[in-house]
Homo-oligomer: A and B are copies of this chain.
């Protein structure tokens, strides 16, 4: 998985081959060919592993209240100064996501991952309502909008520019304040 990640960052989706993944792979190449029929099968497995890594942590942090947990998610999503490695990773995910426009296997993955992230964001919003921090909004509706915005930020970061991401982050704060935070906060 580490070799796939490194090769993706280096070559992008279009330039990726199993031979190039092998450049970063310490074990025998025959192992790669034994397990995977082609690069897409390996990449889909890679995407599944990514979701597994988010499984434990994303949106969950028992020490913090719902507002802090949401702020951490938004900071991660709309970070105005991402380091080079993370930008390379974002580029790879945007390219893999675009495969879903014509490839049902990728589409199935991104539909499932979208549902996962939306559910986690909705849970944070729901907790915030119960804690009296957030207003009585529809958690799923808020989560749908925030997830879509996150998809937009990732896409624009690598296809348009990073210049506007600071503005998006600031507007997200204004949104949280005017739409989500309870009057007396």
A interface with B by C-beta (< 8 Å): 12, 14-15, 91, 94-95, 97-98, 100-102, 106-107, 110-111, 114, 118, 137-138, 140-142, 144-145, 147-153, 155-156, 158-161, 164, 167-168, 170-172, 174-175, 178-179
Contacts and interface: CB of A to CB of B under 8 A. Distances in A.
A141 B156 contact: no
Contacts of A102: 12, 14-15, 91, 95
A110 B160 contact: yes
Contacts of A175: 145, 175, 179
Contacts of A15: 102
Copies of this chain, count? 2
Contact of A159 (B100, B153, B158, B168): B100
Contacts of A150: 152
A111 B174 CA distance: 25
Contacts of A97: 98, 155, 159
Contact of A144 (B95, B100, B168): B168
Contacts of A155: 97, 151-152, 155
B145 A172 contact: yes
Contact of A95 (B98, B110, B140, B172): B98
A150 to B, nearest CB: 7
B152 A148 contact: yes
Given A141-B171, A174-B179, 9 more contacts: A95-B102, A98-B98, A110-B160, A114-B156, A138-B167, A151-B151, A151-B155, A151-B156, A175-B175
Contacts of A148: 149, 152-153, 156, 164, 168
Nearest to A14: B102
Nearest to A12: B102
Contacts of A160: 100, 107, 110-111, 114, 151
